[in-house]
Amino acid sequence: MPSRYQQRAVVLLVEDNPDDVLMIREAFEQSLLPVQLYLVSTGEQAIKFVRRTDPAAPRPSLILLDLNLPIGNGLAVLADLKGDPDYLAIPIVVLTTSQAPEDIKQCYVLHANAYIIKPPDFDGFAAVVQQITACFLGLVSLPPSS
C-alpha cells in the first residue's frame, strides 16, 4: 500500500521494556511504510517530547504507548495529551500487556485511538506493527503536522 507521506512518518514509541523495544524496532524495519521511529521510556519523557520542550523534536504522526511506564504511566500520558486540543488529533495506539477490562475502558474514555494487547513473540509484533502502520499511516487520513 503506498504511503501518502513524501517524507518518513514520525512515530513515537513510549516503551520501557528493552525486549519489546527491540521487537518493535525490528518490526518497523520490516514494515512496508517508511517511518522515523523515536523512543522514550517514561511517561514524563513522552509528554516532553510531544510538547516539544526540545525544539528539535518533531511532532509525531503516531504514538505507540505502553501503559506500564515509570515516571508517569500510560494512562497519565493519554489523559494529558488527549486533554489538550493541540495534541488531541495525534493518534495514540495503546500497545500493552494489560488485558484488564478497566484499562481498556479507561483508555477509550481518555480517547485512545486503539487498544492492542502485545503479542508474545516477534512474528506477532511484526504483524501488529504492519497492521498499525498500514491503518494509521497508509489507510486513514490524518491532519497535517504543525
The string of DSSP codes covering 69-82 is -SSS-HHHHHHHHH
- Domain boundaries defined on the chain: 9-139
What is the pTM (predicted TM-score) of this model?
A: 0.91
Query: What is the number of other CB atoms lying within 10 angstroms of the CB of residue 126?
Result: 19
pLDDT at 3: 44
CATH architecture of residue range(s) 9-139: 3-Layer(aba) Sandwich (3.40)
Q: What is the arithmetic mean of pLDDT over 68-81?
A: 93
Which segment of 5-14, 15-24, 118-127 scores lowest on mean pLDDT? Answer: 5-14
pLDDT in tens, 88-143: 999 999 999 999 999 999 999 999 999 999 998 889 988 998 899 888 888 877 77
